[in-house]
A and B are shown apart, each in its own frame.
Chain A
Amino acid sequence: MRASRGRRGDTATLLAALGAAAALLAGGCAGSLPYTADGEITVAGAKDTSGNLNKLIDVWNAAHPDKKARYVELAAESGLQRQQVMQNFLAHSPTYDAVITDDTWTTEFADKGWLAPLPADDFPPHEYFPAAVDAGTVGGTLYAAPYIASPVVLFYRDDLVARPPRTWSELIGDCAIAAAHQMGCYAGQFASYEGLTVNVTSAIRSAGGDILSVDGTRAVVDTPQARHGLEFLVNGFRQGYIPKEAITYQEEEGRRAFQRGSLLFLSNYSYVYARANTPGPDTAIAGKAAVAPIPGLDNPGVTSVGGHMMAVSAFSRHRQDTIEFVRYFTGEDNERQLLLKQSVAPVWRKLYDDPDLIKRFPFLPTLKESLERGRARPKTANYSALSLAVQTAAYAALQGAVSVDAALAAMSDQIDSALDGDR
């Protein structure tokens, strides 16, 4: 009798303990996943450093008290953001209604059925740059709304160069000016990472070639055009118009070299403009950095338009409201604020013709020219593997370890292997 009562007591204690443990676990989960009140639109994206995103959301919430939105900050680094978003999608979680994505994620996410299609009427394609629409389109359907454009442009020293080079041979000709001033001539992003993929892609396209076939199913880098493109970079290191240390450059290393005054030309994202020209201790060239479209083989080059998109989750419980919110968030008025408040390039074409904005940002017409000619990075559901293939092969050629032809053959094999159905 006593024993059985004791046993029952034990069981009760055990259940209580298990309950407490379960509560602890559940608590832990609730803490790590943002709680979504029903009817609230949750928007996930990078850290709101300018505070502008939350202001935009406040405006929306004031006008739509019945469908309020909330901004959730993801990790600071893009790779970690991707993981967080993917984990939610893999679990078919409705936690994030809208997600600010890197443009290269679109194909993969849409292929996996994680994104809701966006009606073309709400996002009229001709209002945006072609590259931005292309980056959001998979199989003819728009899955991600263009949000921020991020073109690579050529920065040059307008105190030393009268007219920016339109072609590679003009650029190489101008290198005599760099030599006369004991400075490096040209640099981009040549360390082995995503930035190298962007530079190589852009060089190959600027010579008339491409990375992937039009249908995106196989590599097309084994062509004379692709060879010309890669050769421009490889010869740069061999002949010295690209300084040796540029093999270690990511965006920031190149920017610092340019701002120190040790580079004549720099391919980089548009953010460099403000940094280089704002007088301060970290720039020796304030007021002397100008912008031009990147040069190409025979014509101005084809830049890589990176950027951010805004996608709606296929698992959202309020899809229509979210689409409406995305239209507001990426709308023309807010894109204007984006430029004014956050100094990032909008995707709406007509803003680049606005006289008031041009007065404030004199480089807008140049940026527009780049964006109109630019193209999205190669579109594939396995972009990470493709990027790794491009950068690894190209890097070996830049180091002089393998010939350009061997590098392109290896690149072609590796890309095809990455695209292979057997993931």
Chain B
Amino acid sequence: MTVTTRPDAERTPRPTGMAVGTGPSGCRSAGGWLVLPTLVLLGLVIGYPIVRALWLSLHTEAATGDRTDVFVGLANYLRALVGRDHGGFWNSVGVTVLFAVTTVALEVVIGTLLALLMQRVRRGRSLVLGSVLVPWAIPTAVTAVLWKWMLQPDGIVNAVLGKKILWTGSEWPARVAIIVADTWKTAPFIALLVLAGLQLVPPSVHEAARVDGASAAQRFWRITLPMIWPSLMVAVLFRTLDALRMYDLPAILTEGANGTTTLSLFTYQAALDQARFGYGSALSTITFLFVFAVAIAFVRILSRRIVAGAGAGKVA
């Protein structure tokens, strides 16, 4: 991935997008003007909703149903963080983190194994590739409905297990159901990115290691893993950010019952079911900041490791 390339000090200076009319030549100025519509459009579709959500989060709607919003300062934020909804809010944060950690961990292990399988298999490779990728191609909402059917009390999952578990009827079975469904759906995504990383490992390195007497396990831990580390980490980052915003699976499988209300579902209930747009905007802003902070932390910590990992790969 491009993350591994160090930024070149002698790189040409970045074109200044907003430098309308300030450039030394008329050509530069024309470029600025030409970029402007795009910037305006981006501002409209990205900037406006964010600014509007921030503005809304500081207001509450008038009971009359007119859009005359009342300024309430940080009351919406306080209500969630320490106020009367703090129980439900922090509970949903805990549930979200639980789902993110467990699903991403499972998906990394299973996804890597799938990628190794896809790389190794000689005959019927396209069949394996196709069948591994099918879950990823199915929309999440459809996945949720499929699993809901399979997890019925008299459904196929109980028939195969030979047990009668009420999957959506109590806390841990419901959580396990969501974790399993999410892992089933998105492990292929990790597998795909890891497979791309695997293609970059030169076979000669493996051969050299084999000649030196390295065991299969040693070759995986010392050669393969360090070399796929960058692509694996990008996959983990994407998945973590996705998992922290998980909505569809719990919304359809359990409707948030039995301790499966994620932050997004909690926000949805407040903002749309109960039509509290100000409070809902505050919740989405909190979600946004939370996900953003995790992303920044991830990039900070991992970019260092990625460079180190790539270095290790080269050394081996």
Q: Distance (Å) between the CB of A377 and the closest chain B CB?
A: 15
Given contacts A10-B30, A423-B60, whether A18 and B40 have CB atoms under 8 Å apart is yes
Closest-CB distance, A13 to chain B (whole angstroms):
7
What sequence of 0s and 1s flags, for each residue 399-421 of chain A, a beta carbon within 8 Å of any chain B beta carbon? 10000000000000000010001
* A366 interface hit (Cβ, 8 Å): no
> Closest residue of chain B to A381, judged by CB?
B63
Task: Say yes or no: A245 contacts B166, CB within 8 Å.
Answer: yes
Q: Does A384 contact B (CB under 8 A)?
A: yes
**Given the known A-B contacts A10-B33, A90-B65, are A192 and B269 also in contact in the complex, defined by CB atoms under 8 Å?**
no
Assembled-state Cα–Cα distance A113/B258 (Å): 37
Contact (Cβ within 8 A) A248 B153: yes
Are A17 and B30 touching (Cβ within 8 A)?
A: no
Residues 33-85 of B at the A interface (beta carbon under 8 Å): 33-34, 36-37, 40-41, 44, 60-61, 63-67, 84
Among A21, A25, A248, A253, max chain B CB count under 10 A is at: A248
Q: Is the interface of B mostly helix, strand, loop or mixed?
A: loop
Instruction: Tell whether, in the assembled complex, residue B29 and residue A10 are in contact, meaning their CB atoms are under 8 Å apart.
Output: yes
A382 touches B274 (CB 8 A): yes
User: Contacts A14-B36, A192-B257, A388-B269; is A423 near B166 (CB within 8 Å)?
Assistant: no
Q: How many residues of A contact B (CB 8 A)?
A: 44
Contacting pair A193 B166 (CB below 8 A): no
Instruction: Please tell me the size bucket of the interface on B.
Output: 35 or more
> Within 8 Å CB of A11, what residues of B?
33
Given A114-B65, A385-B274 in contact, is the A14-B257 Cβ separation under 8 Å?
no
Number of A-B residue pairs having CB atoms within 8 Å of each other in the complex: 94
Task: Provide the residues of chain B in CB contact with A89, threshold 8 Å.
Answer: 65
Pick from B10-18, B167-175, B184-192 the stretch touching chain A: B167-175
Question: In angstroms, how far is the closest chain A Cβ from the Cβ of B55?
Answer: 16
Q: Which residues of B contact A399 (CB under 8 A)?
A: 169-170
| Interface contact A14-B37, CB-CB below 8 Å | yes
Is the beta-carbon distance between B33 and A90 smaller than 8 angstroms? no
Is B212 located at the chain interface by the 8 A CB criterion? no
Judge whether A113 and B272 touch: CB under 8 Å. no
Choose from A6, A17, A90, A91 the contact partner of B26 (Cβ within 8 Å): A6
In angstroms, how far is the closest chain B Cβ from the Cβ of A185? 16
Q: Which one of B26, B164, B257 contacts A191 once the chains associate, using CB atoms below 8 Å?
A: B257
State the Cβ distance, A238 to closest chain B Cβ, in Å: 15
Whether the pair B65, A247 counts as a contact (CB closer than 8 A) is no
Q: Is the CB of A193 within 8 A of B33?
A: no
Tell me whether A111 and B63 are in contact (CB under 8 A): yes
The yes or no answer to B207 lying at the interface (CB within 8 A) is no
Provide the bound-state CA to CA distance between A79 and B272, in Å: 9
Residue B242 is within 8 A (CB to CB) of chain A in the complex = no
A112 interfacial by beta-carbon distance below 8 Å: yes
**Bound Cα distance A398, B256 (Å):** 17
B219 contacts partner chain A, Cβ-Cβ < 8 Å: no
Q: Is the CB of B26 within 8 A of A3?
A: yes
7 other contacts beyond A17-B34, A248-B152, with CB at 8 A cut-off? A14-B36, A92-B67, A111-B65, A113-B65, A192-B258, A247-B166, A384-B269
29 contacts between A and B (CB under 8 A): A7-B29, A10-B30, A10-B33, A14-B33, A25-B44, A79-B272, A86-B275, A89-B65, A91-B67, A92-B66, A113-B64, A191-B255, A191-B257, A192-B254, A192-B257, A244-B169, A248-B152, A248-B166, A248-B168, A248-B169, A257-B154, A384-B275, A388-B269, A388-B273, A391-B257, A392-B257, A399-B169, A417-B84, A423-B61
